[in-house]
Structure 1
Amino acid sequence: MASIKPTPDLRPARINALGEFAASIAHEVKQPLAAVTLNAQACLHWLEQDPPRVDQARTALRVVLEASTAASAMLRSLHGMACQAAPQRQPLVVNDVVRDVLQLLRGELRQQCITVTESYAPDYQLRADRVQLMQVLMNLILNAIEAARDLHDRARTLALHTSLADDGLRISVADNGVGIAPALAERIFDPLFSTKPGGTGMGLAICRTIVQSHGGRIWSEPGQPHGTVFHLSFKEYTLWTPSRS
């Protein structure tokens, strides 16, 4: 008589997957919601001035709208990734995406007294999911902000660059924080691994999944003389030319 094999219990795996998904949601929407709060407070501050600073309040409200829209879009993106849906790719100018993410995070960068330097290649475009590319850049910039929090012996800086390299169109995010220990550098993209106390270990894992789904590559290297540099590289790109009406 043939033996009957026990049915494997899939519940632990499902619970783990659900936990990872919940951690992903918490990680991804945290900063857009913080931007909503920060700029709503700023708006109230400007309106309470005598006379009210209407232009500044209007600017803060625009960021509130952009951040809330970004949070909703990121939730849809995470749901799509969980369901293994294909990215919603369209032609987009990389430099514009970088600037849009910086705009969302300006308040946090100012709060942490971080000086930002930017340099851009000519306007090249990718066929990419805009929300997902913004997720990646937001994660990397937030990591750079986190790396600068404990700096007291030097100015806090963040450098953003787009450039052409031998391996394609690059986006680079460099901080001047304490850096990543060499023994941990190989593990930072692993799910649920974090070098930060209280970190979810999902941010960089999500970044790698998104970049690879776009045919790209992501990696880190030590900054000089301090900090860490993260690079994204995409082989397929085109020079953007404005359409003529």
Structure 2
Amino acid sequence: MASILYQATPRSANASVLPAPAEQSRTERINAMGQFAASIAHEVNQPLAAIALNASAALRWLEQDPPRLDHVRDALAIIASAGNHASAMIRSLRGLACNNTGTPATFPADDPAREVLLLLHTELQQQGIAIETRLTLGQQAVRADRVQLQQVIMNLVANAVDAMRANGERPRILVLSSRRDGAMLRFSVADSGTGVAPEAASRIYEALYSTRPEGMGLGLAICRAIVEAHGGRLWHEAARAHGAIFHFTVPSP
């Protein structure tokens, strides 16, 4: 299970006796399984949050007089979509752990970004985040695993939301864009948050490294594994005023 996502945790240098090969192999498997379990917990957190938020909203709309059944119907559709998405993300992580790049399909390149924004709409609204979309690829096709591209975008958007929590009076702005970049298709997520500290810039893509005390340090590592498995790359730069911009590319078919 130690694969493109996971590396076995090194044994302490203070250990005086090395374990037998069988015991060492068992320890490595346990470490890899623990990291895999942590990855699942990390990735399904966002869909579960969407389910909880939209279920609460649906209950409030049902209690209105008269009930807002149109809003309830929309919330239930998002709940169903989030449940399906969580299940698909678990299958995706299992595939990555086994060095499987997923199930490629051909679809409009901007669709995953639009689907993620719909799934996270309630949370973004509650956080007071203004969303700007500059998705210019339109019906340009991409051949990729749709769920894995959604995972990348969802992780980058979730990180952007976290980065803007301490904005105070400064506006919270999320910009999601796409464009052709030579032979590649480029997607970008920009925020007006705290940005990436220079001392963390070279490490934020490492598994289990996080700049936040409550962070698991898995989101960007998973994003990088997915993007590189698709033949693209992932990187970031500082925004002009505040925040950061994360870019990733995938090949144009």
TM over 0.5: yes
Report the equivalent of 1:63.
78
The 2-side partners of 1:185 and 1:27 are apart by 21
Could you tell me which of 186, 190, 196 is aligned with 1:180? Answer: 196
Report the equivalent of 2:94.
79
Report the equivalent of 2:122.
107
Report the equivalent of 1:144.
160
Mapped contact 1:167–1:233 kept (Cα < 8 A):
no
The 1-side partners of 2:239 and 2:79 are apart by 33
In the TM superposition, 1:1-245 aligns within 5 A as 7=21, 9-123=24-138, 124-166=140-182, 168-237=184-253
TM-superposed deviation, 1:167: 5.9
Partner of 1:177, secondary structure, is coil
Structure 1 moving runs of 4+ over 6 Å = none
The 2-side partners of 1:171 and 1:15 are apart by 36
Partner of 1:139, secondary structure, is helix
Q: Which runs of 5+ in 1 are unaligned?
A: 238-245
Report the TM-score, using the length of structure 2 for normalisation. Answer: 0.89
Report the TM-score, using the length of structure 1 for normalisation. Answer: 0.91
The 2-side partners of 1:208 and 1:13 are apart by 22
The 2-side partners of 1:6 and 1:74 are apart by 36
The amino acid that maps onto 2:149 is: L
TM-superposed deviation, 1:11: 2.3
The 1-side partners of 2:142 and 2:84 are apart by 22
* RMSD of Structure 2 on Structure 1 (CA): 1.4
Partner of 2:155, secondary structure, is helix
TM-superposed deviation, 1:84: 2.5
Report the equivalent of 2:4.
none
Distance 1:147 1:167, change over 3 A: farther
* Percent of residue pairs identical: 50
The 1-side partners of 2:146 and 2:46 are apart by 17
The 2-side partners of 1:120 and 1:217 are apart by 19
TM-superposed deviation, 1:42: 0.7
The 2-side partners of 1:98 and 1:160 are apart by 8
